[in-house]
Amino acid sequence: MLIAHRIALDPNNVQATYLARAAGVARFAYNWALAEWNRQYAARQADAAWPQPSQLSLRRQLNAIKRAQFPWMLEVTKCAPQIAIIQLGQAFNNFFAGRARHPKFRRKGKHDRFSISNDQFRVAGKRLRIPILGWLRMREALRFTGHLVSATISRQAGRWYASITVDTPDVSLPPAENQGAVGVDLGVSTLATLSTGETFTGPKPLRTLLDRLRCLSRALSRKVKGSNNRARAKAKLAKLHARIGNLRRDALHQLTSDLTRRYHTIGIEDLNVRGMLGNRRLSRAIADMGFYELRRQLEYKAAWRGGQVVVADRWYPSSKTCSACGHVLETLALGQRSWSCPGCATEHDRDVNAAMNLRNLAVSSTVTACGGEGSGPVPCTGRNRPRRSRNPTARQL
């Protein structure tokens, strides 16, 4: 199992200068290789005698000329330019396979990172050793034990981080308390509503700090490009963006750790987040919640504790189905937060009822009528299959 641990670094001025130089070398090598790849690819389209560009040929080409044309590249670890070109080759593989767009050039201040192979760095306690530079102090020790795979040094809002990938056979976490199954309904006003009636209100960091964000953005736009005042204003804005992301990430980690520690089986919806972001009225609030990140954390943390996450079908009518008798409403407006079942006259809270249906689906998909394990949730079919609405937000929340 490959696990990456991101740890903050504490470099001095000399070490920070080396890290910035290594990131610049990696960025230059990536952009040089991308320009050369485009040139060779265009030449091959015009003349079939030209060889097909590849990351291996570009690495050899750079090694042959860097000592004469780019001698400053020798001042940092050799892994910085070499792995950058390997990453470009992976980006082109994803592009030709249809999984990503065409690679773009990296920018200074936005793509400040470089990677090191496992034979070029060491970790000892709260220290990280990098070639040429030596030992770097880390804010915490590596949490996982196993074979070191790689390390990526990056800068975000003026702070340096090391993301260390470890190949570990097992993650030593205690199993879930197994308080049963739980359904989790995600929303905008409330981040998560459980089938037990518990609610978790997200911190909504973007909404909370939006006024400050606008103020710093306006201040940055008034500064002269290339001036020191603009650089300071840009650093302030970057720190605020980093704070917003850290607040959101911390809240999601606390919620997902609590759920996976308590429950063995968790039922959630397969939300169409990209479609939901098309709603111009709710797109900011939806993006501020981090639905995809919450699902990602639930899945890998549940696997660490021996649990499982059951994802309901995207068109499963969790909000419109009565959790008591199974009656399905024809329509349910997005603003209607409670409703009464016409079949059994049960009063339902919209979010709690959806969470209870997700819990029932998770239980039925993992245990069959004979008590054995099932094959997973089955998409709803027949009359109970909801009609597809043109409003992606109305059918998801």
Active-site annotation, residues: 185, 269, 351
Token digits of residue 149: 């795979």
d(CA 155, CA 176): 36
d(CA 158, CA 171): 32
Token digits of residue 179: 């308080």
Residues found in the chain: 397
Task: For residue 251, count CB atoms less than 10 angstroms from its CB and return exposed for 0-12, middle for 13-18, buried for 19 or more.
Answer: buried
d(CA 382, CA 389): 17
Give the other-Cβ count within 10 Å of 253's Cβ: 14
Place of tokens 């610049």: 24
Residues 6+ apart with CB under 8 A from 232: none
Using alpha carbons, list the distances in angstroms from residue 45 to 79, 95, 101, 322.
32, 18, 20, 61
Token digits of residue 318: 């969790």
- Cα distance from N-terminal residue to C-terminal residue, the chain: 34
**Helix-helix angle 13-46:79-96, to 10 degrees:** 40
d(CA 355, CA 342): 20
CB contact burial 174-211 (16+ within 10 A = b; e otherwise): eebeeeebbbbbbbbeebbbbbbeebbebbbbbeebee
CA 340 to chain CA mean position, Å: 38
